[in-house]
Amino acid sequence: MKTFGVALLAAILGYIVGLFGTMAAIELFSSNQHDKSLEAAMTGAFVGGPLIAIISVIAILMLRRKRMT
């Protein structure tokens, strides 16, 4: 149960980091002139956030498994 809680916390924190990191990257590097803020929000919410959340859960589970052995 402890592993589930840690993985859930990692997913939430990873989502937040991915969301804002992707939004910042889009704001800095996108050449879109008309709706850059909308592009940043949607890309962060639907691509960057979930991707980093999944990566963080996998990393936590691998670290926990390595410690168990």
**Residue-wise pLDDT tens digits, 12-29:** 999 999 999 999 999 999
Q: How far apart, in Å, are the Cα atoms of 13 and each of 9, 33, 52, 67?
A: 6, 31, 9, 22
- Pick the residue with more confidence: 22 or 67? 22
Is pTM beyond 0.85 here?
Answer: yes
What's the domain count of the chain? 1
Question: Which pLDDT band holds residue 1 (cuts at 50, 70, 90)?
Answer: confident
* DSSP letter assigned to residue 58: H
Which structural domain range is residue 52 located in?
Answer: 2-68
Question: Which pLDDT band holds residue 53 (cuts at 50, 70, 90)?
Answer: very high
